[in-house]
Amino acid sequence: MKITEINVYPIETPIEQEFYYSMGYVDKRASVIVEVVTDEGYVGYGESLCHGQQPVEASAAMIQYGYAPLIVGKDPFQRDIIWETLYNRSRPYGQGGIAVNALSGVDIALWDIVGKATGQPIYQLLGGAYRIEITPYATGFHRKEGLKYPEALIEEAHRHLDNGFRAMKMKAGFGVEDDIQTIKAVRDALPDDVRLMADFNGAYDLGSAKRIVHGLNEDSIFFLEELIPPEDLEGYAYLRSISHNYIAAGENIFTKIRYKDFFEKRALDIIQPDISSSGGFTELKKILALAQAYNTLMFPHVWGSGVSMAAALQFIAAVPPMPISIHPLEPMLEYDHAQHPFRLDIICNGIRLENGKVTVPSGPGLGVTVDKDILEHYRKKSAL
Ligand code: CA
């Protein structure tokens, strides 16, 4: 089989009500969908994540101009060779960020093709599903102008409970006192058996992060995510050594090479690579092997549209419990609940939350159908 064509869809749409998190304001939802066509009729889809304020043009251009010419004519089964080729060719201007973000979308599309060509869901290609039903956690709690806090956060927590969630993650990073006070208020409003996490998006210096860790050490916050920027490895190792709650990060850590440093420093309790940004299936498999060797939990990050969610579900199905035991800590699916006009439309609503669980699609490849009308509808015409 040979790849004949790569099509890139930079898609974007404004949202009705702007929201903000610790790094800025979000007034649109965007993504980059990759379509890989073969001479045998199989077409695969992947997604390169657009982080909070990332412009769609960036990874779209990388794929179109940087990678597509190197892939046409190649066999999609050779995804490891393709991954290493693209990574090595982009090394002088890559090694992370946009280069790996773009590569992730291409890689997911190749696995989708192999799944479709073999009639197998990707979790089978990865070695099998340890679980087919995944517990999702609701990500939301973004701030909006004009609302009263923490009251609005408590209201949102109750909405997630009503929708069947037993775990949720709130945005933080709005100041040490504000964070400690609002996180405690939401924690107190939730039943004890509901998991609460907090995500700071790297908003703090080490001293402020230390104060937050101490301020929450008597509370049951399942994990504290990205307290500090990802460049501060030693800072993470220090925070991990003083925190009673798990320390997590990973959406801004790219490839096995950068993760290696975090493992060697024993800097994280939970790693959170994003399949649509940290390296795709091919690289997350290798990061997972390192995580096992370093006895560290992996809970993948998800912020993309349905294509990315489908890829994450396939991968999470195949993440082994660490270690296998009667009551292991199972990986959860991050289920973004902020406003997103095409999140599930793009995969014809192929992912559903039922009885508090999300079932991994069992069809070939990603197990979902991509709606090309939606791709065309939201395509940013001026992008490429
Ligand atoms: Ca995050």
290 C-alpha to ligand 1 centroid (Å): 22
Q: Which tens digits make up the pLDDT trace of 117-171?
A: 999 999 999 999 999 999 999 999 999 999 999 999 999 999 999 999 999 999 9
- pLDDT higher than 90, residue 194: yes
349 C-alpha to ligand 1 centroid (Å): 24
**Band of residue 334 on the pLDDT scale cut at 50, 70, 90:** very high
Q: Are 112 and 44 in contact (CB under 8 A)?
A: yes
Q: Which tens digits make up the pLDDT trace of 50-70?
A: 998 899 999 999 999 999 999
- pLDDT higher than 80, residue 384: no
Backbone angles phi, psi at 7, to 5 degrees: -115, 135
201 C-alpha to ligand 1 centroid (Å): 6
Q: Which residues surround ligand 1, an ion (CB under 5 A)?
A: 199
Lowest mean pLDDT among 54-58, 120-124, 232-236, 272-276: 54-58
Backbone angles phi, psi at 56, to 5 degrees: -65, -25
303 C-alpha to ligand 1 centroid (Å): 8
- Alpha helix locations (H) across the chain? 56-61, 68-71, 79-89, 97-118, 122-125, 151-162, 176-189, 206-216, 233-242, 255-264, 280-293, 306-317, 372-378
Residue 337 has a pLDDT of 85
51, 142, 160, 301: the catalytic one is 301
Structural domains present in the chain: 3-120+370-378 (3.30.390.10), 123-359 (3.20.20.120)
pTM over 0.95: yes
pLDDT > 70 in the chain, percent:
100
Say which residues have a Cβ less than 8 Å from residue 248's Cβ, sequence separation at least 6.
197, 223, 224, 225, 226, 268, 269, 270, 271, 272, 299
Q: Are 100 and 254 in contact (CB under 8 A)?
A: yes
Does 337 qualify as catalytic in the annotation? no
Query: For residues 255 and 23, what is the distance between their CA atoms, to the nearest angstrom?
Result: 23
Backbone angles phi, psi at 243, to 5 degrees: -90, 135
Q: What is the mean pLDDT of residues 72-87?
A: 98
CB atoms near residue 208 (< 10 Å): 17
216 C-alpha to ligand 1 centroid (Å): 19
Q: Are 277 and 248 in contact (CB under 8 A)?
A: no
Question: Structure tokens of 266?
Answer: 């024993």
13 C-alpha to ligand 1 centroid (Å): 21
Question: Structure tokens of 140?
Answer: 């939301």
**Band of residue 275 on the pLDDT scale cut at 50, 70, 90:** very high
Q: Which tens digits make up the pLDDT trace of 307-323?
A: 999 999 999 999 999 89
CA distances from 349 to 138, 196, 271, 372 (A): 18, 27, 28, 13
Sheet of strand 133-134, all strands in order from the earlier edge strand to the far edge: 133-134, 357-359, 353-354
Say which residues have a Cβ less than 8 Å from residue 106's Cβ, sequence separation at least 6.
6, 34, 36, 46, 63, 67, 71, 82, 86, 280
Cα angle 361-366-368, degrees, rounded to a multiple of 5: 65
Query: For residues 91 and 12, what is the distance between their CA atoms, to the nearest angstrom?
Result: 29
